[in-house]
Chains A and B, each alone.
Chain A
Amino acid sequence: MNMAEKILARASGRRAVEPGEIVVADVDRLLMHDLSGYLTGQVYDREVNRPVRYPERVVMVFDHHFSPPTEQQAVVLETNRAWARRHGINLLDCGSGNLHHAAVRGGFIQPGMIVVGSDSHTPVHGALGALGVALGNDSHAGTVLPYGKAWFKVPRTVRIEVSGTPRPGVSARDVALWLVAKIGEGELNYAALEFAGPYVKELAFWDRWLFPLLCVDLGAKCAYVEPDEVTEAFVRTLPGGSVDRLERSDGQEAESVLRFDVGDLEPQVACPPTVGDVRPVAGLAGHPVQWAELGGHGGGRLEDIAAAARVLDGRRVHPRVRFNIVPSSREVFAEAVRAGLVLALHQAGATWFPPSTGSNQAYNMGALAPGEAMISTHARNFPGRNGSPEAEMYLASAATVAASAVAGTITDPREVAA
């Protein structure tokens, strides 16, 4: 069996499982953010109204709000706090960081776990060798909270092998964006993706993170990077980090294997209206942007902040651009402080925001006026997601975001950094 099948078999008390089977499995962790937690809590109180079976397995992170801008949103957060206290679940309040980063840094994710959540990027925890699957509010309210279980259809496995050495200035995010376009949105519906190959193997943990993250755009159920010594070393840095339940595939053939070489890749930009509309940065050069942001599920990593600082070394943010920097966790902010990156980027004209998920859906920042454009490290760019449907959102690497913030137009980072 592969890793996903082994984890599902163990959690459902079976010796083996087959793709296509529906199983009921024990859930190790439920992750909710301030929006999904609120909606799930409403359904739970109204339609289920039982004690939470394993409150210690449930984590709520307020990441869409670092601070509520309206009374209605303040009431939502207060309702969530009361719900969390009443049921005794873990609560990480405003300022903790992005849901997934805060959960990992807090030691809530371990290899071999089944991690579920309403957030569609929950599969990102495959970076640690966990089985992360996005479910809906009714699964959480109906079976995870009252019984600690959920139903799963066992997915087929598709292996994605990436090889080649990218040119200087081309980052793991460029590779990830490019893969979405090469494979196609929704093309791997319901599959489990196994990321492998020499390129992936050479990546450090936080660059590997970007690959399971993209699986939702391909339509996949879950994704993972085959756990190895990089995974194990990272897990040991976490509070309570343990590799005791780590599973590996037996090496049996996946249903299909897709192979890619990244040796000729250029920096990439995802254009509106969807994440799959990806083009080389050269084709967009000169397009004006008024906003630039590091943040979101995949952004706001120390790697992103350091890349921006390299681009901005000796330069300033363009006077017509606002450059937001949103650390993905409190730990990342502390690391950026210690490395001197906070002062350097502040003096270059960037603005620091509290650890959170930043402008994701504009709940407390990041609304755009008609005609404005933002380039960011976020995971989504659908029209209307951040304010006006006539605003544009472009997704790119931290270096491309920073280079564009300097130039005031979408810019190849290799032109600025040269």
Chain B
Amino acid sequence: MIFEGRCWTFGDNIPTDRLVKSRYVFEPMSEIVRHVLEDLNPDFPLQVQPGDIVVAGRHFGQSSGRAIAVKALKATGIGCVVAETFARTFYRNCFEVGLPALEVPGIGDLVSDGDRLRADLTTGAVENLTAGGRAAGQGADPFLVDMLEAGGLIRLAAARPDIFA
């Protein structure tokens, strides 16, 4: 699975609270998506384009494990999210709701905001198409790739009764 798009860069230790603030949790997704990460970059929810790539630092998506933070990020239309490291609930939720996620140590040094990035989820390889340079992350576990290809965990469970039933 290969993704290519414009990067939006964010820092370390960003909590799910700042992806979707508490006050928007009960709003419809069409409203939530207009506020994703707005405190950290007000342009992001207004200007993000389908296929863009979110690049973050360490421990991205810490705090509350609510899947709605990942669903909102996915609803912006981004192609995938790349981080130095993820909070584990966030990483898990990404695959369960169908948003590809890739851990790449050194990604922060490789890309600047606005660069175009190419990322291979299966091998973990990434390449900066604007400034040049490559980095190697860890490819996703085959079970998680199956989950993405099925369209998320709920669809995987329905399609593969041998796994959970």
Contacts and interface: CB of A to CB of B under 8 A. Distances in A.
B63 A142 contact: no
Interface in B137-165: 141, 143, 152-154, 156-157, 163-165
B120 interface: no
Nearest to B69: A136
B67 A137 contact: yes
Contacts of A383: 18, 39
Contacts of A135: 65, 89, 92
B10 to A, nearest CB: 14
Contact of B89 (A136, A361, A384): A136
Contact of A147 (B86, B92, B157): B157
B65 A35 contact: no
A380 B22 CA distance: 13
Contacts of B15: 274, 380, 382
B164 A147 contact: yes
A120 B92 contact: no
Contact of A139 (B13, B64, B96): B96
Interface residues of B, number: 38
A134 interface: yes
Given A137-B67, A138-B93, A139-B96, A382 B154 contact: no
Nearest to A46: B154
Contacts of B13: 185-186, 274, 276
A47 interface: yes
Contacts of A217: 62
A355 to B, nearest CB: 21
A73 B67 CA distance: 20
Nearest to B60: A186
Interface in A34-79: 35-36, 38-39, 43, 47-48, 72-73, 76
B68 interface: yes
Contacts of A119: 64-65
A77 to B, nearest CB: 11
A368 to B, nearest CB: 13
B85 interface: yes
Interface in A218-232: 219, 221
Contact of B26 (A36, A76, A276, A384): A76
A371 B88 CA distance: 33
Contacts of A73: 26
Contact of A136 (B39, B67, B164, B165): B67
Contacts of A43: 67, 154
A339 interface: no
- Give the interface size bracket for A toward B: 35 or more
B97 A384 contact: no
A163 interface: no
A141 B154 contact: yes
A389 interface: yes
Nearest to A70: B26
A89 interface: no
B65 A186 contact: no
Contact of B67 (A39, A149, A361): A39
B164 A149 contact: yes
B153 A186 contact: no
B6 interface: no
Contacts of A190: 88
A219 B59 contact: yes
Which of A73, A120, A146, A147: most chain B Cβ within 10 A? A120
Nearest to A120: B65
Given A138-B93, A147-B164, A219-B59, A35 B157 contact: no
A39 B68 contact: yes
A138 B64 contact: no
B30 to A, nearest CB: 15
Interface in B120-145: 141, 143
Contacts of B92: 135-136, 139
B2 interface: no
A139 B22 contact: no
B110 interface: no
A24 B165 CA distance: 10
B59 A185 contact: yes
Contacts of B39: 383-384, 389
Contact of B154 (A47, A72, A118, A361): A47
Interface of B: 13, 15, 17-18, 21-22, 25-26, 39, 58-59, 62-68, 70, 85-89, 92-93, 96-97, 141, 143, 152-154, 156-157, 163-165
Interface of A: 22, 24, 35-36, 38-39, 43, 47-48, 72-73, 76, 118-120, 134-139, 141-143, 146-147, 149, 151, 153, 185-186, 189-190, 216-217, 219, 221, 274, 276, 361-363, 380, 382-385, 389
